[in-house]
Structure 1
Amino acid sequence: MKHLLLLTCLLVSQGLWAKNTNDSLLLKIDKRDQKIIGANKDSKKTLREELEGVFEKKGLVLTDSLWQQIRTVIKTDSEGDSSLSMQIGNSRVKIGILKSGVNYKSDISMKSKPGGVSIESSSKEEVRVGWNGIHVKDGNEEVHVDWNGVRVREPNGAETKVIWGKDSTKTQSKDKKTTLYERKRFNIYIGLNGLTGKMPENVIAIFPSPYLNSDKDLKPLGSRFVSLDFTSAATIARGKKSAIKLGYGFAFDWYNFMFDHNRVVTKTTSATNFQPMFDAQQNVIQLDKNKLTASYITLPIVPHVVFSKQSAIKMVGLGGYVSYRLDSWTKTIEKNNENLTRIGSNFNLNDVRYGVKAEVALRHVGEIFFNYDLTPLFEKNYGPQLTAFSFGFKL
């Protein structure tokens, strides 16, 4: 690369006088071997004899003073390369004295092109000099200098521009990989609950009845679902614009069923039913809040397909989950005096539940989810066969 830049400078420095001379002579001397580069290596001639032969072919004479100048430069102890330039008659003579001794005849070739001169190397190095500027290429690195400024392209595709009179800017390569959507490692699910199924038929004529058809009615905005999810994902297959992944992890779920009536979930010796609360005068107490809460630890498994972050649909997932009940309780607040009552029990709830889970991530909406239990909320023959579901957003 160093030698290419040296030859480039030689070419540029001679650009003006080359047009006004009838002939020119460009020689390269190996400082180490004291031989003309490109000459016969087996020749027994001295360096002066070789120079005299070349000068004679061009109709020139190597004077003693010129030879002494060349000898002085060769003997100079310098780290870099040197050059001499002189005018002899109508001919311009340029002598490069190179310390490295690279065989330029085999490694470097010079070509004349419409836009200027191109110097190419067998080691994938190239220098182009023309009216559109100087372009230097070294493998995957490129440097271009023109009237506008300097542009450097790095091997990783990044490009740095220095504009004359302006600040430098750095841009990334356009052909970088598409950034795909990634599920977060920690998520908060917030949504609403619901219950489906039929209440048992009342076959006993007693008051209060253990079940009514309205017992499953919920306050829509008061029945909330909350989940704290810790998840990871393994890539199954990946393409340029999408990937198939397997999401897994664990979560803590809370079902809050806010009932829209005054009958409270109660566990008896034989089953779980709904019963009203009575005051001292045996009047039914009106409730401002009446809910059943159950908490679970959940293991979700969600295979999903992810797309670009700029896509309208960024992710689609469909999987399942299995949960184990951690705790459950009822909580009531009376309307008249705001007395709060909290009762903890298993209420004959199924300790293990499982179901299906769907998730969709939309660019302008966010992430939405839907859960549907495949197991009933209460144990069979110990409570109404109601099934829970939840839906909402993932934060």
Structure 2
Amino acid sequence: MKTILLALFICLFGINGLKAQDANSSTSASNVRQDSVFKNEKEEKVRFNGHVAGIYGGFITFGKSDYSAYKNKDFMKLKLQTSYTVALNIIEINIGLQKQKNTVGIVAGIGAEFQNMEFDNKIAIHKNKKGIIEPFTYDEGSISSSRLRVLSANIPLMLEFQSPSNKTSRFHFNMGVVGSYNFITQTKVKITENKFPHKSKTISNRGNLNMPRFNFDLMAQMGGNHFAVWARYGITPLFEKNKGPELHQVSFGAAILF
């Protein structure tokens, strides 16, 4: 009888010990999972995702201008509805400036831009014998449209602030400088010949138009995760000093962000 009671006591003690061990194991596993989740959340908080990559489109006009060296004032006035810019930023680099949050950072990008500027006046532009940009007309016909086109590579560098809201809907505002390098500058003029039957032809000239290779613009942008509005102001004049009218571009528009 004593032997049976002793055996039952040992069994009960062993079962209780196993339950306690299982409970400790469960608690330890739960703590590990909680620590892992907390660690992952902490790691996510330090990631910063800026808003520069995307497709940009907008209109171009001129802000500050100086035609004091010319008789024909404002001869490069633009048609706003047909003077536009299209840019594509395909590379984005993000640098967060906070340890525990992801709402402030520096964002840079690399992309390309195409600008089409159509003159409101029926004139073309060229370099005269002194190497200065001036307006001119064609003897063989009348100008129906005259455009200046630029293809460039862009590098935006922006300081960005984001609202600390959820990840799916986050407001952002950034401002900074856009540096660009002009690869191609071209004038494209369409004229209608004076002689009958008044045929139309297009004259294109590609080359140096006294436009600086390197340019810098101030830029500001605001919006959500996938849509934004933006504005830019040209710090660098359109033409080199004393080689054309002093013109500073102003452009504005919207962007679809990646």
Alignment TM class, shorter chain as reference: 0.7 to 0.9
Deviation at 1:200, TM superposition (A): 2.2
Give yes or no for contact 2:154–2:178 (8 Å, CA) kept in 1.
yes
User: % of aligned pairs identical?
Assistant: 17
- Alignment partner of 1:356 is 2:218: yes
SS of the residue aligned with 1:191?
strand
| Alpha-carbon distance in structure 2 between the residues aligned to 1:273 and 1:102 | 102
Q: Deviations over 1:97-116 (max 9, x none)?
A: 59xx9573xx47xxxxxxxx
Task: Decide whether the 8 Å contact of 1:199 with 1:216 is kept in 2.
Answer: no
Q: Secondary structure at the match of 2:67?
A: coil
CA distance in 2, matches of 1:156, 1:123: 16
Q: Which structure has more RCO (C-alpha within 8 Å, separation ≥ 6)?
A: 2
Q: Which residue of 2 aligns with 1:232?
A: 93
Q: Which runs of 5+ in 1 are unaligned?
A: 1-47, 55-69, 71-93, 109-118, 126-136, 142-153, 158-175, 203-209
Cα distance in structure 2, aligned partners of 1:309 and 1:256:
39
How many angstroms does 1:359 deviate by? 1.4
Contact 1:350 1:378 in 2 (8 A): yes
Equivalent position of 2:159 in the other structure: 303
Say whether residues 1:341 and 2:203 are aligned partners.
Answer: yes
Taking the TM superposition and a 5 Å limit, the aligned residue runs for 1:157-176 are none
Q: Secondary structure at the match of 1:285?
A: strand
Unmatched 5+ residue regions in structure 2? 36-40, 193-197
Shift of 1:345: 1.8
Shift of 1:49: 3.4
1:60-101 alpha-carbon deviations (Å, 9 max, x no partner): xxxxxxxxxx9xxxxxxxxxxxxxxxxxxxxxxx89959xx9
> Alpha-carbon deviation of 1:50?
3.6
1:198 aligns with 2:65: yes
Instruction: State the secondary structure of the residue aligned to 2:159.
Output: strand
Residue identity in the other structure for 2:149: T
Instruction: Tell me the CA shift for residue 355 of structure 1.
Output: 2.1
Compared CA separation, residues 246 and 102, structure 1 to 2 (3 A)? farther
Larger relative helix fraction: 2
Out of 133, 142, 153, the residue aligned to residue 272 of structure 1 is 133
- In the alignment of these two chains, the number of paired residues is 244
Structure 1: which amino acid aligns with 2:210?
N
Q: How far did 1:123 drift? A: 4.8
- Once the two structures are TM-superposed, the CA of residue 374 in structure 1 deviates from its matched residue by 0.7
Alignment check: 8 A CA contact 2:172 2:222 kept: yes
Residue 238 of structure 1: how far off its partner (Å): 4.8
CA drift of 1:156 comes to 6.6
Q: Does 1:124 pair with 2:27? A: no
CA distance in 1, matches of 2:71, 2:59: 24
Q: Which residues in structure 2 correspond to 1:1-395 (within 5 Å)?
A: 49-52=2-5, 102=14, 104=16, 107=17, 123-124=23-24, 139-140=28-29, 155=33, 182-183=49-50, 186-201=53-68, 211-229=71-89, 230-240=91-101, 242-270=102-130, 271-279=132-140, 285-287=142-144, 289-307=145-163, 308=165, 314-334=171-191, 337-362=199-224, 366-395=227-256
- Quick one: structure 1 residues 317 and 327, their matched pair in 2 at CA, closer, same or farther if it must change by over 3 Å? same
| Bigger radius of gyration | 1
Amino acid at match of 2:218: V
8 Å contact kept, 2:48–2:94: no
**SS of 1:51's equivalent?**
helix
**Residues 96/256 of structure 1: CA separation in 2 closer, same or farther (3 Å cut):** farther
Q: Please give the per-residue CA displacement for 1:147-197, whole angstroms capped at 9, x wherever unaligned.
A: xxxxxxx9479xxxxxxxxxxxxxxxxxx7889883467422111111123
TM superposition score normalised by structure 1: 0.53
Once the two structures are superposed, residues 297-345 of structure 1 have per-residue CA deviations (whole angstroms, 9 ceiling, x without a partner) of 2222112123335687621111112222211000112356331111112
